[in-house]
Amino acid sequence: MAHGLTTTSYAILGLLALKPWTTYELAQQMGRALGQFWPRAESKLYEEPKKLVALGLATADRESVGKRRRTVYSITDDGRQALSRWLPLAGAPPVLEFELLIKVFFAEHGTKDDLLATIGLVRAWTEAQATLGVHITGEYLEGRGPYPERLPWILLTGQFLQDFLNMVELWADRAAATVETWPDDIRTATPDVGVLEAMAADNRAILERADQRRRASPPAAEP
């Protein structure tokens, strides 16, 4: 990471590259545009642009609305270049933190109803996410979504998030159905070996497809 810049630094630079924003707008836009795959605490989003200014990657324009002060940040040419230099560098793969899944992992310490309630919370989350998703897709379908010229690659990220949501919902459905078949004392439940075998088969299939891609193209074509 160049000069103490973090992924969040680059994310902010990416947004500034679109247009200048007030800090409040930046914080909001970070939440809306990136919050599902790069959630950041608001206070840090107020700090970060100051750092960019100190490094000459952004500029700060203080202005007033009545007696209220606000700061509009803009990207500099150096900022654009920093962003472009970062983009092709290797980045981190997905990192997941899922507290509810910890509760599933330690289900033996609770009841069948506890476990079903946990799965229910997962479902509630998928519902809230789907409600949000309907609004966002609706905006773009009505031609009102922000930055439509960026839609081709925005759709890639959107598709990822949608796939994730669909996956979580489907998992919750199946998990609930499975747990419902268990005895009241879940500690006496028996595992479904078929699930294990299917997982093993899925992994082998992934490895096989990776192999095929390697054989279909020279090593230089892969990172």
Partner DNA sequence: TTGACATCCTCCCTTTGGGAGTATATAGTA
Partner DNA sequence: TACTATATACTCCCAAAGGGAGGATGTCAA
Residue ranges that bind DNA, judged by CB under 7 A: 4, 6-8, 22-25, 28, 39-44, 46, 65-71
Q: Among the candidate windows 19-27, 46-54, 58-66, 125-133, which touches its own copies by CB under 8 A?
A: 125-133
Length of the chain equals 223
For residue 35, CA distances in Å to 45, 92, 114, 165 come to 12, 16, 29, 15
Residue 18 main-chain phi, psi, to 5 deg: -75, -45
Near its own copies in 36-65, by CB under 8 A: 36-39
Residue 154 binds its own copies (CB under 8 A): yes
Are the CB atoms for 164 and 98 separated by under 8 Å? Answer: no
CB of 205 to its own copies, least distance (A): 8
d(CA 122, CA 196): 22
CB of 64 to its own copies, least distance (A): 32
Query: Token pair for residue 187?
Result: 């500690």
* Element containing residue 70 per DSSP (H, E): strand 68-75
DSSP 178-200: HHHTS-SSGGG----HHHHHHHH
Q: Which residue has the tokens 């925005």?
A: 154
Q: Among the candidate windows 21-29, 33-41, 48-56, 63-71, which touches its own copies by CB under 8 A?
A: 33-41
Binder of residue 54, out of DNA, its own copies, none (CB less than 5 to 8 A by kind):
none
Residue 209 binds its own copies (CB under 8 A): yes
Q: In this complex, which beta carbon is closest to its own copies, that of residue 65 or of residue 89?
A: 89
CB of 72 to DNA, least distance (A): 8
Near its own copies in 178-197, by CB under 8 A: 178-179, 182, 186-187, 189-193, 195-197
Q: In this complex, which beta carbon is closest to its own copies, that of residue 25 or of residue 173?
A: 173
Residue 66 main-chain phi, psi, to 5 deg: 60, -125
Residue 32 binds its own copies (CB under 8 A): no
Residue 186 main-chain phi, psi, to 5 deg: -60, -20
CB of 50 to DNA, least distance (A): 7
